[in-house]
Amino acid sequence: MSFSIMLQHLVNGISLGSLYALLAIGYTMVYGILRLINFAHGDVFMLGTYIAFYAMTSFMLPWWASFLIAIILTCIFGIILEKCAYRPLRNSPRISVMISAIGASFLIENLAIVIFGGRPKAFPIEPIFSKILNIGGVSIVSVSLIIPVITAIALCLLNYIVNHTKVGMAMRAVSKDYEAARLMGIDVNSIIAFTFGTGSALAAIGGIMWGLKYPQLIPLMGLMPGLKCFIAAVVGGIGNIRGAVIGGFILGLGEIMIVALSPALSGYRDAFAFVLLIIILLVKPSGLMGQNTVEKV
Amino acid sequence: MKKNNILTLISIIGFILLLLVLNITLGSYKMRIFNLCGIYVILALSLNLINGFVGLFSLGHAGFMAVGAYTCALLTMSPETKEMNFFLEPIVPWLKNVQLPFPTALIIGGIMAAIAGALIGAPVLRLRDDYLAIATLGFSEIIRVVFTNTQRITNGPLGIKGLPTIGITGQSWEIVIWTWGIALFTIIFMVLLINSSYGKAFKAIREDEIAAEAMGINLFKHKMIAFVIGSFFAGIGGALLGHLMGTIDPLMFRFLLTFNIVLIVVLGGIGSITGSVISAIVVTISMEALRILDADMQIGGYIVKGIPGMRMVVFSALLMIVILFYQRGLMGTNEFNWDWIINRKKKIQKI
């Protein structure tokens, strides 16, 4: 394999990895605070893409406005989801919360099938995103370069929010100890809502860019990326934002590289994430960056 | 106690007679749904054993069903049908001329699923709660991906068509005897298992793992037993489902299938055999009955346009409502017993 083709695969891997990273952050933040797998996160991601699609095609908005609207609406949707599906079960056994999450996920998917229709839709792509750049013999679609840049910007913003603002400090406190944070006068409910909002906004950003890179929208498009990104979060160490980013990149690069290095295995591409998950759970269940926790009686 | 056993025996015999009568009176379409009910009873009970009684939240059921269905299908099909199916790539030679009678193949299918369960359980059962759910879900996806890609054994994404009908002679009355016979066997087996010392240990693990371990229960052994038994019955159920449908392909065994079974178990009450049985029958029938939602309807003079997919929205919404407002489900952890009915009867007579 020539160097330029390798480089091309690398760019693809990095852009897929960035998308996974954006989604994985949503999982890891929610899990860090509520100890809950937000199964519906993949569907929030799907919703973001569809909102952007309809804003552009039905309402004829310019692309930047529709992207902004999609991010805001998805953010609101994430907060509503938390309020309806998870908040009433805050003190229930974890199995109930998980069933609720699975149920919410299927409800959103089935509603999406009813409302948007099961037929695949083509995401409209502006020329700036589909330009083909030629850099040193490597031809790259511009969107593959834009995705990592936007991801980097979003991550810097998130890093600032989590580490340098009051809300971020409260978020970290809640994830360390829920009860103690409440005793310190932190409004836990609004912090959780804020977390869901942030995670959903990131999912929307990821979804829009996913639509630009793989422009086929179906109501079930969030299912597989959702599962894989949860795995990315586990691989990186769940509850750890930096870990989720690393996990996302490992997953994205790994998937692309498997297909690139041995085309015979390309059918097993979807299994890669799950194999990785099982290896990580057996070798280091707390993930690459996670801390060990011991259950106390 | 004696009296209850006699009552149970009488009702089982009555039920078998009812099956034969129903087989004659109901049409083939209704009979097919009825058979499907029996299969879903098996599947719901096997998932309930793992999820409800041991408290392991497993989402890998579709994978075990796939193992059972494919094993049984490949063992019962005649060499000619196999050749017709595998037209893109020939089948592996060691499978080509194998043809076993249905009961043997069914049991082998179950055993293969149980082996898969044991292999998957060994590493996964050390995990807790949601990690376990994701890991089992992952394994079931891996099984599906492997089946999609091993074209020479499973015929890959094309799937297998022309599975022989359930039973030895291939007559229609035999199908209902097999599906509901195995369902009855599963019910009795589960009741006996839950009331044995193993069942008590399972419940102890569900309530509190650490306390159970302190009481001297071998956690891993009991979890493994439940998981293997659950996957055995899942394999049997999958095999029956495949043979009832007459065709299987990897896409059939997606997460959606597991979701349907989880739905049944939750609606019936997590940890109740009676609940699972009732809810399996009700859900399977209503899944068919609610097809009217997808089609056009005529109300008064107006034609209400049917919305394809509305049926599944109803079921997902139902699951959400049950889990949010009525977590016990239909039966909670209660079971059906004769004493309750007899007492009820006496009370009514007194009034």
From the list B51, B148, B312, the residue facing A110 with the nearest CB is: B312
Which chain A residues have a beta carbon less than 8 Å from that of B210? 295, 297
Share of chain A above pLDDT 70, in %: 97
When scoring A90, A99, A105, A296 by the number of chain B Cβ atoms within 10 A, the one with the most, hence best to mutate, is A99
pLDDT in tens, B240-263: 999 998 899 898 898 888 988 998
C-alpha distances in Å from residue A229, one per residue of A52, A149, A206, B258, B276: 21, 19, 11, 20, 33
- Residue whose C-alpha is closest to residue B232's, from B71, B103, B95, B116: B116
% of chain A exceeding 90 in pLDDT: 31
Interface test with A, best of B266, B324, B327, B328 (most A CBs within 10 A): B324
**Within the 152-191 window of chain A, which residues sit less than 8 Å (CB to CB) from chain B?**
none
Asked if A279 reaches chain B (Cβ–Cβ under 8 Å), the answer is: no
Local confidence band at A292 (pLDDT 50, 70, 90 cut-offs):
low
- What does the pLDDT look like over B168-224, one tens digit per residue? 777 777 888 888 899 999 999 999 999 999 999 999 998 888 899 898 899 999 999
DSSP state letters, B210-221: HHHHHTT--HHH
For residue B129, give the nearest of A94, A111, A113 by CB distance: A94
Distance in Å, alpha carbon of B184 to nearest chain A alpha carbon: 28
Instruction: Assess A37–B contact: CB distance below 8 Å, yes or no.
Output: yes
pLDDT at A294: 53
Nearest 5°: phi and psi at B298? Answer: -115, 110
Q: Phi and psi for A39 in degrees, rounded to 5?
A: -55, -30
Q: Average pLDDT of chain A?
A: 87
CA distance B85 to chain A (A): 21
What contacts A155, CB < 8 A, 6 or more positions away?
A: A21, A25, A245
DSSP A285: T
Per residue in B1-31, pLDDT (tens digit) is: 577 788 888 888 888 888 888 777 887 888 8
- Using the Cβ of B139 and the Cβ atoms of chain A, whether some distance falls under 8 Å is answered with yes
Compute the distance between CA of residue A154 and CA of residue A159 in angstroms, rounded to an integer.
9
pTM above 0.90, yes or no: no
| Reported confidence tier of residue B114, pLDDT bands at 50, 70, 90 | very high
From A292's Cα to the closest Cα of chain B, the distance in A is 14
Say what the ipTM of the complex is.
0.84
For chain A, the domains span 3-283
B130, B134, B309: residue with CB nearest A113 = B309
pLDDT at B301 over 70: no
Confidence of residue B129 (pLDDT cuts 50, 70, 90): confident
Residue of A31, A41, A110 to mutate for B, most B C-beta atoms under 10 A: A110
Of the candidates B51, B135, B148, which has its C-beta nearest A278's C-beta?
Answer: B135
Per-residue confidence (pLDDT) for residue B94, from 0 to 100: 81
- Does residue B246 sit at the A interface (CB-CB below 8 Å)? no
DSSP code per residue over B10-25: HHHHHHHHHHHHHHHH
Q: Do A103 and B323 lie within an 8 Å CB cutoff?
A: yes
A41: closest CA of chain B, how far (Å): 14
Residue of B51, B31, B28, B50 whose CA lies nearest to B39: B31
Residue A1 has pLDDT above 80, yes or no: no
